[in-house]
Amino acid sequence: MLLHMLLEGIELRGGRALTELREGWRDVLAGGPEASAHELAARRYVITDLLDDLRDAVDPMERHAVAFALFEKTAELLLLHDRRWLGTGKYLPRRLREWNPERAEALTEPLLRGDLVAFADRVDHELIRAGGRVQAGFVR
């Protein structure tokens, strides 16, 4: 994220202007993003759907594709639920580990060893902690 680069990057040229920018944006980074209740519910809705797809899928390629999408959506929900900034690509796992190394490990360990049943169970556990499943009647 550009804000992380601004605040944590190595200064090549900056001086006073860079110092002022860093001072002004430090609190924004520390405060984290604020997701609305509706946005969090919409994310829980997507995760609920993906979780059901993973449990129902029998084709190995489909199961893995759904599992990795489910990881991404779950990691984003966990971070946003706790007002933490997201990342894409390699930065999403990094943000997840920075946030809570133990929960990041618990989520990723079964996925990385290919135990998609245990991974689905862990996602379900995290989904409950974030407010639970969202299904029928939800309007996006």
Distance CA 85, CA 81 (A): 10
C-alpha R_g of the chain: 18
Would you state the pLDDT for residue 107? 97
- CA dihedral (27, 33, 36, 40) positive or negative: negative
C-alpha 24: how far from chain center: 26
Could you read off the pLDDT of 29-72 as tens digits, one per residue?
Answer: 778 889 999 999 999 999 999 999 999 999 999 999 999 999 99
pTM, whole model, 2 decimals? 0.84
**If pLDDT is split at 50, 70 and 90, which confidence band does 18 have?**
confident
Give whole-number Cα distances, 27 to 4, 23, 43, 83, 111, in Å: 12, 8, 26, 13, 35
